[in-house]
Amino acid sequence: MLHLFQILAQSPETTTEPAGLNVFFHGVEHYLGENGSDLLWNFLAAIMILVIGRWAAKLVTRIIEKLTTRARVDETLVKFVSNMAYWAMLVMIIVAAIDQVGIDTTSFAALIAASGLAVGLALQGSLSNFAAGVMIILFKPIRVGDYAEAGGTAGVVEEIQIFHTMMRTGDNKQIIVPNSMITGDTITNFSAKNTRRIDLVIGCGYDDDLSAVKQFLEEVLQTEEEILEDPEPIVRVHELGDSSINFIVRPWVPSSEYWEVKWSLTEKIKLGFDERGFTFPFPSRDVHVHNAEAA
């Protein structure tokens, strides 16, 4: 095959005269006479490689889609991985077909490698986001519908794409966060567990009856139906502050009811303190003034 290409390459020089043209066609005829059957077989084999290889690539792609779907992998990642696998196999099939014809594929491999390197350098940031997106979809540190703090943003996860994640804040703003920022920072997922603990610090005055305050706080917890019995809620004297005695109030609630219960408890405790005459001391400081004696 290479010999035939050499003959074709020399044709401009040899076709300037009738004798040269005759030599050219004689050389082609001689080559086809000796290697025609091999050349025909190589072309047929190359076509078979393309046809069978394309069919095999589609079959492998369907198998990948079925396996990843059964593994409950995100649909976006399933399509992306299957398409990448199909085109990668198709490139290898084309190279194999070209090699079967007799053309040296070393230059093709070098060209593909150089192109891949150039594209990789040009899309370094995008590839980083893509890799991070694959990690998020596979390992699921956050899911659609979760309330999470990630990439410097807190909100409800609305959509996880290959290159970015869309989040909705409490005031209904949509924020698009690059996936590399999410995986490159600490992720706090407030919806990962079914239950959450509410942490309240309630201060009362030093003149208030501690037993009465504690009993009232325990009674308030019993008024909330969403508070779980296991783990048991905690009401304890936590510290003796500069101007108040501080209680910690720590009930457990379903994660979906966290804010409603916290707001309700805060309101009930304030109203209950007012009714019972308990005080919320403000920080205070005693200032002593001494008059200097006249010299």
SS3 131: helix
SS3 235: strand
Q: Report which of residues 293 and 123 the model is more confident about.
A: 293
Average pLDDT value for residue range 29-55:
74
Instruction: Please list, residue by residue across 204-236, b when 16 or more beta carbons sit within 10 angstroms of its beta carbon and e when fewer do.
Output: beeebeeeebbebbeebbeebeebeeeeebbbe
Interior CA angle at 152 toward 249 and 169, to 5°?
70
Identify the band that residue 120 occupies on the pLDDT scale cut at 50, 70 and 90: low
Q: Are strands 245-250 and 200-204 parallel, antiparallel or unpaired?
A: antiparallel
In the chain, where the domains are located: 2-122, 131-189, 195-276
CATH number of the domain at 131-189, please? 2.30.30.60
Average pLDDT value for residue range 39-57:
84
Interior CA angle at 279 toward 273 and 281, to 5°?
140
Residue keyed to tokens 């005080």: 279
CATH topology of domain 2-122: Helix Hairpins (1.10.287)
Average pLDDT value for residue range 109-114:
69
How would CATH label the architecture of 195-276?
Answer: 2-Layer Sandwich (3.30)
Identify the band that residue 2 occupies on the pLDDT scale cut at 50, 70 and 90: very low
Q: Is 103 exposed, middle or buried (0-12, 13-18, 19+ CB in 10 A)?
A: middle
Percent of the chain with pLDDT over 90: 37
Give the pLDDT score at 15.
46
Average pLDDT value for residue range 72-77:
67
